[in-house]
Structure 1
Amino acid sequence: MTGHSIIRSFENIMMIYLATTFYLMITISIEAAPSRGDLCDDMMRSVNSLCPRHEKVVSCPDAEQLQKRLDDAVILNWNLMSALAAAETKLAKLENTGTSTATEKNKCQALDGLFYLERCYTVALPTVGKYMGFDEAAERCNETGGILGEVYSVDHETALQTFIRPLIPSSKNFLYVWIGMKYQQSTSTLLYRNGEEKATTDFRWDAMYPRSDSPYMALEVGSDGDYAVGFWNARPDHDVDAVLCEKTL
């Protein structure tokens, strides 16, 4: 449910709640009044004017009808109070979620990261030398309080390539970045940490990949946006430029 729909529901509940409460007050006043004639008629007109889209009270009820309507109104009033409390809770959660998301995004940007799918993605370089193997890549992410980054859709892949592209040195045409999924040749799928599997065809790959020699994966990013490249798989000791890390803030 969106924020606007919650607010509209909240406003509708408030209007019905107020009308029902007023109906209760009127009904109790009629029941207690010594003379029900003109007083009843005036008050019924007030109820009708307040609730134009609901059942009209066209005449004064007798004592039995009056008691039944009073009982029904009490139940309705209680239900509306419960619905009103639930709407307030949902609205508060929505406001807190929006504030929390904005804070997490700001924290991620402060780390020079990409905030995507409520996760912060950063790129870590080798501590020694120009390249790193898969084991060192995993350690680099642990050092930053994160884990190896996983890519969840082709749109996510594109967003990461756009994010990584400015990090490519002018002396290079491509940057290779370790990622966390595992390639499964037997099923032509990618395996995620949570056990989920996705088809290799759901993503872009380098023209010569995937190959059958290793489950370890990296993302290749071209310096030219028109040549974005994509996934490839390699041995864990392969020389790779950097690693993609992800964490929840």
Structure 2
Amino acid sequence: MQMSDLKYFAPYLVDSLIMSKSISRLIPVLALFWCVRSSSQQHLICKNIEDVFPEDGIAETQPRHSGVQGPAEIFGPKGERGNRAPPVQMDYDLIDDIIAVKVTNSFSVINSTIAELSRNVSTLLSEWERLKPTIERKDAAEVSTAPATTDATTAATPEDECRVRVGLLHSGKCFTLPYLSSSVGIKYDEAVAECAKQGTLMAEIHDRVQQTALYNFALTKMPAGTSKIAIWFGMEYQHSTSSLLYRSGMEKHSSQFQWYPGYPSTSSPRKYIIMNVRNDGSSNFGLWNYLKARPLSGVMCEKET
């Protein structure tokens, strides 16, 4: 092979070595094939080594020229899918150990708190046992020095008893309204049972003065938002004599009482006495003789004082 041939093939050999980044192999080859001592002009490889290989990289020997972009890369066929990695192995024993340690620590804190509370309770009980005799002696001394009371001063008066019942004391009797409703009515027999449950009887009206007092008492007990109510009483109307019949068998003429306009009714089933009470300023109020099975707002009861 002639020197001219070596010069022809040398560039391709250099390019290959540069592409493979085998710089250590490049220098001897260049020195062998390109250094021509007799030539008056030095070739690239015979230049100073610092000019060929600067510190920041390999020097370019040819100016760059823009050209037409080459064809895109053509990839080969896709290879077979590799094997799946083995699943992660969970160390459940380690997890259980961690949980057990945390639970044990929590119970330790709880047990310490309970122990402290127990000590506090024991301290309080000990203090109570220490102070108990002193407290008992003090209570006994206060009882022994308290003024004596008599039955006369402690016995409840009729007014007190009636006040407890939230009733009206009138004519030696305590009148109450144990049942009064603006929505759910009560029939005559239910009214009798309601008074008996209170240890009382259905109230009876004996004159106009008492009727007015009981009427005003009922006004004070009317449910909120209600303009009129009707209340059962214990008398019965006697059609044959136009009078009111009492439990004692006594009768009083109907003219001794104030009646609702149009009453007493002449219908024979209507014999049970009720009082109509209104707070709307109407003058239409008073007694009715009514039917036993009809439900009314409430019942008035009485008890001897």
With the shorter chain as reference, the TM-score category is 0.5 to 0.7
After superposition, the C-alpha distances for 1:173-213 in whole angstroms (9 at most, x for unaligned) are 11110000000011000001111110101000100211123
Hey, what does 2:258 align to over in structure 1?
204
User: Matched residues in 2 for 1:107 and 1:169: separation?
Assistant: 24
2:294 is aligned to 238
SS of match in other structure, 1:125: strand
- Equivalent of residue 175 in structure 1, options 224, 229, 239: 229
Q: Does structure 1 conserve the Cα–Cα contact (< 8 Å) formed by 2:180 and 2:297?
A: yes
- Specify which of 172, 183, 187 is matched with residue 241 of structure 2: 187
Could you list the runs of 5+ residues in structure 2 that have no partner in the other structure? 1-152
Q: Please identify, of 216-225 and 114-123, the stretch whose mean Cα deviation from structure 2 is larger.
A: 216-225
Report the alpha carbon displacement of residue 228 of structure 1 after superposing the two structures with TM.
Answer: 6.7
CA distance in structure 1 between the partners assigned to 2:191 and 2:284 by the alignment: 22
Please give the alpha-carbon distance, in whole angstroms, between the structure 1 residues aligned to 2:180 and 2:169: 22
1:16-70 CA-to-partner distances (Å, cap 9, x unmatched) read: xxxxxxxxxxxxxxxxxxxxxxxxxxxxxxxxxxxxxxxxxxxxxxxxxxxxxxx
**Cα pair 2:274 2:287 within 8 Å, conserved:** yes
1:142 counterpart (196, 199, 203):
196
- In 2: Cα distance, 1:180 partner to 1:140 partner: 13
What is the DSSP-based 3-state SS (H/G/I as helix, E as strand, rest coil) of the residue aligned with 2:293? coil
Matching of residue 218 in structure 1 with residue 240 in structure 2: no
Distance 1:122 1:153 in 2: 18
Residue 113 in structure 1 maps to residue 113 in structure 2: no
- The CA deviation at 1:223 is 1.1
SS in 2 for 1:207: coil
Q: Distance in 1 between matches of 2:224 and 2:180?
A: 18
Please tell me the residue identity of whatever aligns with 2:167.
G
List per-residue Cα deviations over 1:206-239 (Å, max 9, x = no partner). 0021112321111111114663711001111112
Q: Percent identity?
A: 34
Higher percent of residues as helix = 1
In the TM superposition, what whole-angstrom CA distance separates every residue of 1:122-181 from its partner, at most 9, and x where no partner exists? 012169x61011000000000000011000110000000111102222332111100000
| Cα distance in 2 for residues equivalent to 1:114 and 1:198 | 23
Q: Secondary structure at the match of 1:171?
A: coil
Secondary structure in 1 matching 2:274:
strand
Give the Cα–Cα distance (whole angstroms) in 2 for the partners of residues 117 and 205 of structure 1.
22
SS in 2 for 1:160: helix
Number of the residue aligned with 1:103: 157
Distance 2:202 2:272 in 1: 12
Aligned residues: 149
The aligned amino acid for 2:249 is G
Equivalent position SS for 1:221: strand
CA separation in 2, counterparts of 1:240 and 1:223?
17
- Give, as a single letter, the amino acid of the residue that structure 1 aligns with 2:239: Q
The structure, 1 or 2, with the larger RCO (C-alpha pairs under 8 Å, 6+ apart) is 1
Letter in 2 for 1:203: F
Q: Read off the aligned partner of 1:168 and give its amino acid letter.
A: M
- What value does the CA root-mean-square deviation take over the aligned residues? 2.2
For 1:29-178, what aligned pairs fall within 5 Å after superposition? 103-125=157-179, 130-178=184-232
Q: Secondary structure at the match of 2:232?
A: strand
Partner of residue 227, structure 1: 283
Change (3 A) 1:227 1:237: same
Q: Distance in 1 between matches of 2:167 and 2:184?
A: 21
- TM superposition outliers: structure 1 runs of 4+ over 4 Å: none
Q: Is the 8 A contact 2:231 2:276 kept in 1?
A: yes
State which structure, 1 or 2, has the greater radius of gyration over its C-alpha atoms: 2
